[in-house]
Structure 1
Amino acid sequence: MAGPGWAPPRLDGFILTERLGSGTYATVYKAYGKKDTREVVAIKCVSKKSLNKASVENLLTEIEILKAIRHPHIVELKDFQWDSDNIYLIMEFCAGGDLSRFIRTRRILPEKVARIFLQQLASALQFLNGRNISHLDLKPQNILLSSLEKPHLKLAEALFGQPPFASKSFTELEEKIRSNRVIELPTRPQLSRNCRDLLQRLLERDPDKRISFKDFFGHPFVDLEHMPCGRSLEQATALVVEAVKKDQEGNFSAALSLYCKALDYFVPALHYEVDARRKEAIKAKVGQYVSRAEELKALVNSSNRALLQQGTCARDLLKEMARDKPRLVAALEVASMAMAKEEEGQDDGDALDLYQQSLGELLLLLAAEPTGRRRELLHAEIQTLMGRAEYLKEQIKMKETRWEAESADRDGLSESVRSSCTLQ
């Protein structure tokens, strides 16, 4: 609020109250509509005296773009007016302030909260990118929160509480940006493999090597497909219907896969739901489906072990035929290590890494392998290994889903989803 003697400008249809912020060209006020609804808005007042020709063109472009776009995670321009002194942009009001302040007050954010914020931001960026619009000034101060009770948001700074090139001076900042030194991510807090991979690809200095928009939107950490939204429960329910059908038919492998896919949508549905009674009903259903998935896992696992044992002779024959191919022998050894890890049952993630490492090499070798018995055996082995890798992925996801479902109400997560983080 301003001091004594200060008064906001007058605008037909609105009562302007406290000053929310100000910059070189504009001041933003909180305001109320004079109509019955008393709608709360933010009004950006741009002084005509401060505008040159280029500034006028930029402002008109901003108005043109904002009037033409509607997205739940982009701040809405409701209308604009002008008088002899100012141009007024009547905007959606975001009561939670900006992301920068949100991070400062919490120091760091849990990865699962940062991920939901990132999904919302990515959704807005994808919308803009599809219309050939670039933001050009994307930073925490320009990302607004609809409320503090139900906030929304962006990635870099959020996880560690400081930006990747934090510096005490512009000289130090420039040196860090221009340096060829590899950017070391802090070891704490501990991050998931997907989160760390995305951060490193986003922080690549060479723009030609940096992750593209297409790859960013498709990255497994962003995972826009499973972003919490109004359709999450509907998508989960449709998959469960298919899972139950396959289960009743005795196709346990397909049923397990469908249950796991359904759980991928149930967790976002839990995060999206705000009604306590409906949330508890969803959690109860999730518990039932996880229990059935565990039973199916035991059945499928037993069947898979039998298939692996049946393939032992063909696997041994392939190894014998690969004596003149050291790379093939080495790749098959890695596959054997993956199977051994899986049998131990200690760390599915390690086993999955070994399967993927082996498959990457075997697929290259298959492409160069001439037609013949060895190629047939290699093709069959790759199919078996791919099946094991997919199965392990589902098991890892199921464990994560169960943990997320159990902790859906912790850390205020359910409160950090449905609000609209909006780009200013």
Structure 2
Amino acid sequence: MAGAGWAPPQLEDFILTERLGSGTYATVFKAYRKRNVREVVAIKCVSKKSLNKASVENLLTEIEILKTIRHPHIVELKDFQWNKEYIYLIMEFCAGGDLSRFIHTRRILPEKVARIFLQQLACALKFLHEKNISHLDLKPQNILLSSLDKPLLKLADFGFAQHMSPRDEKHVLRGSPLYMAPEMVCNGQYDARVDLWSMGVILYEALFGRPPFASRSFAELEEKIRSNHPIELPRHPRLSQECLDLLQRLLKRDPQQRISFKEFFAHPFVDMEHMPSAESLGKATSLVMEAVKKDQQGDASAALSLYSKALEYFVPALRYETDARRKEAIRSKVSQYISRAEQLKGLVSSNNKVLLQQGIPARDILKEMSKDKPCLYAALELASAAVAREEEGKDDYETLDLYQQSLGDLLRMLAAEPAGRRRELLHAEIQALMGRAEYLKEQIKMKESQWEAESIGKEGILDSARGSCILQ
């Protein structure tokens, strides 16, 4: 449609300037509104000549869907017009380009940034899912950034979108092979869950710099799609357990085993509860008031836990706040709460150390009783290694991984352990280790929230991204 010396189409109320991108039957231009305000928009010009019956249906569905929805993370359709040659979709302009370019210019995104972007996409997907709309072409090229300094993701290109209830099955192949769910290609039959697979591929690409089916040829790509092998996750960069769990559950080849929409929106890595919103500050303040009350009552452990939970809302509150003075006031309060939480942490840690030391003889007895069961003994050794690391002050993900691995093994063995003294000791040991793992997880979250609260500056998310890159 667009040759080297080719001039853009003419539209009465707009001046069309640079070409932003083009597809099979449409080209998108940056444009300015001539009258009133010099509003910047993106205009999708669809050549009528290039439309067949299927593409006409797709276009009409796209216009119908976009006309009826308004959401902060979905590109807005402002208007549409037509003449003899073209149909014009006048869209919101997104100055930050697309997510594909954003990822590739940075090679990979730090987990913290990928998570913020995933939350925004999940928010758009939840909105669509509640209206029984499936996008069916989710990929980084169809996700736009409002700007580069404080980017908001905007879901775009609804050319393949369909109204689908959760049980609707379709047979028409839609989307891009790299991001297309295997059931689309292998069975030609699919439902709304294909969007969840695509979300998994987008998250994978953001974290590892390439999609899981990246191939040198179409034959290689088809072979990978049709294979029965589970998707393997690279070992580097190191990711949190929550992130790995979500990736594995999104990228299940069998849609019956794939995470459901309900589970996805409730997943701890997606964590929509802690998305930046107008409610974030109120929730944080409410928790702080409870923390102060517990602190005054001398309950250091409960106060520390509440301060930690409050920080998880203060960080999104800082991200949501646009007024510089209010932002600084929040940050100042957060610093005070962090200082108090650090003091309480010292108190709670010393109390826990005493309890841990009291628990060591029981663990040693259990080890002695488990020498005939090498697997149980090895799991207890793993638990001892986690406790030793924590006592050395290594409150990090590596220590948490050791706790989680040992607990996974110990819980399996508890289920098979017959009644008796060893079972009683094992049950008590698991409870103690679970308490330690939960406490450690809380401390790690508090440390991360503290770092994020301090790092949220005028540059916003990209500031945090640079900080994360330095820390990795």
Global fold match (TM > 0.5): yes
Single out whichever of 123-132 and 174-183 deviates more from structure 2.
174-183
Residue aligning to 1:413? 461
Residue aligning to 2:207? 159
Deviations for 1:285-304, whole angstroms, at most 9, x for unmatched residues? 33222221111112122333
Kindly provide the amino acid, as one letter, of the partner of residue 450 in structure 2.
R
Residue aligning to 2:331? 283
Q: CA deviation at 1:249?
A: 1.6
Residue aligning to 1:9? 10
- Whether 1:177 and 2:178 are equivalent positions in the alignment is no
Instruction: From 390, 393, 397, give the equivalent of 1:342.
Output: 390
Contact 2:456 2:463 in 1 (8 A): no
C-alpha distance 322-183 of structure 1, shift in aligned 2 (>3 A): closer
Output aligned runs, 1:26-105, within 5 Å: 26-105=26-105
Single out whichever of 307-316 and 42-51 deviates more from structure 2.
307-316
Deviations for 1:31-70, whole angstroms, at most 9, x for unmatched residues? 3335523332222232333333333222222222212222
| Gap runs ≥5 in structure 1 | 418-424
Residue aligning to 1:396? 444
Single out whichever of 162-171 and 314-323 deviates more from structure 2.
314-323
Contact 2:150 2:461 in 1 (8 A): no
Q: Secondary structure at the match of 2:89?
A: strand
Structure 1 CA distance for aligned equivalents of residues 122 and 3 of structure 2: 36
Structure 1 CA distance for aligned equivalents of residues 3 and 32 of structure 2: 18
Output aligned runs, 1:186-225, within 5 Å: 186-225=234-273
Contact 2:240 2:397 in 1 (8 A): no
C-alpha distance 171-366 of structure 1, shift in aligned 2 (>3 A): closer
C-alpha distance 260-101 of structure 1, shift in aligned 2 (>3 A): same
Structure 1 CA distance for aligned equivalents of residues 24 and 51 of structure 2: 10
Kindly provide the amino acid, as one letter, of the partner of residue 173 in structure 1.
L
C-alpha distance 33-349 of structure 1, shift in aligned 2 (>3 A): closer
Single out whichever of 78-87 and 385-394 deviates more from structure 2.
78-87
Deviations for 1:209-247, whole angstroms, at most 9, x for unmatched residues? 444434433333322222233433332222212211211
Contact 1:114 1:155 in 2 (8 A): yes
Q: CA deviation at 1:92?
A: 1.3
Residue aligning to 1:251? 299
Single out whichever of 325-334 and 22-31 deviates more from structure 2.
325-334
Contact 2:149 2:461 in 1 (8 A): no
Kindly provide the amino acid, as one letter, of the partner of residue 150 in structure 1.
K
C-alpha distance 351-186 of structure 1, shift in aligned 2 (>3 A): closer
TM-score by length of 2: 0.74
Residue aligning to 1:422? none
Contact 1:194 1:221 in 2 (8 A): yes
| Gap runs ≥5 in structure 2 | 154-201, 466-472
Single out whichever of 254-263 and 21-30 deviates more from structure 2.
21-30
C-alpha distance 408-366 of structure 1, shift in aligned 2 (>3 A): same
Structure 2 CA distance for aligned equivalents of residues 416 and 349 of structure 1: 20
Contact 1:8 1:17 in 2 (8 A): no
Deviations for 1:166-198, whole angstroms, at most 9, x for unmatched residues? 333212322333445665545554444443444
Contact 1:338 1:352 in 2 (8 A): yes
Report how many aligned residue pairs link the two structures.
416
Structure 2 CA distance for aligned equivalents of residues 318 and 30 of structure 1: 70
Structure 1 CA distance for aligned equivalents of residues 238 and 366 of structure 2: 41
C-alpha distance 305-347 of structure 1, shift in aligned 2 (>3 A): closer
Structure 2 CA distance for aligned equivalents of residues 129 and 21 of structure 1: 28
Kindly provide the amino acid, as one letter, of the partner of residue 217 in structure 2.
S
C-alpha distance 109-319 of structure 1, shift in aligned 2 (>3 A): closer
Q: CA deviation at 1:257?
A: 0.4
C-alpha distance 330-106 of structure 1, shift in aligned 2 (>3 A): closer
Q: CA deviation at 1:255?
A: 0.6
Contact 1:119 1:227 in 2 (8 A): yes
Contact 2:276 2:316 in 1 (8 A): yes
Residue aligning to 1:355? 403
C-alpha distance 35-246 of structure 1, shift in aligned 2 (>3 A): farther
Task: Determine what percentage of the aligned residue pairs are the same residue.
Answer: 75
Higher normalized contact order (CA 8 Å, seq sep 6+, divided by chain length): 1
Residue aligning to 1:234? 282
Deviations for 1:84-113, whole angstroms, at most 9, x for unmatched residues? 443332221112222222233333333322
- Whether 1:122 and 2:122 are equivalent positions in the alignment is yes
Contact 1:94 1:144 in 2 (8 A): yes
C-alpha distance 14-182 of structure 1, shift in aligned 2 (>3 A): same
Contact 2:150 2:459 in 1 (8 A): no
Kindly provide the amino acid, as one letter, of the partner of residue 20 in structure 2.
L
Structure 2 CA distance for aligned equivalents of residues 208 and 330 of structure 1: 35
Structure 1 CA distance for aligned equivalents of residues 232 and 427 of structure 2: 40
Structure 1 CA distance for aligned equivalents of residues 5 and 59 of structure 2: 31
Contact 1:272 1:414 in 2 (8 A): no
Structure 1 CA distance for aligned equivalents of residues 295 and 113 of structure 2: 34
Q: CA deviation at 1:318?
A: 7.4
Q: Secondary structure at the match of 1:157?
A: helix
Structure 2 CA distance for aligned equivalents of residues 132 and 31 of structure 1: 32
Structure 2 CA distance for aligned equivalents of residues 188 and 370 of structure 1: 41
C-alpha distance 300-190 of structure 1, shift in aligned 2 (>3 A): closer
Contact 1:77 1:89 in 2 (8 A): yes
Instruction: From 307, 316, 320, give the equivalent of 1:268.
Output: 316
C-alpha distance 130-2 of structure 1, shift in aligned 2 (>3 A): same
Structure 2 CA distance for aligned equivalents of residues 204 and 410 of structure 1: 39
Residue aligning to 2:169? none
Single out whichever of 119-128 and 167-176 deviates more from structure 2.
167-176
Contact 1:273 1:414 in 2 (8 A): no
Structure 1 CA distance for aligned equivalents of residues 409 and 104 of structure 2: 46
Q: Secondary structure at the match of 2:41?
A: strand
C-alpha distance 414-286 of structure 1, shift in aligned 2 (>3 A): farther
Structure 1 CA distance for aligned equivalents of residues 28 and 292 of structure 2: 55
Q: CA deviation at 1:121?
A: 1.4
Q: CA deviation at 1:133?
A: 1.9
Q: CA deviation at 1:360?
A: 3.9
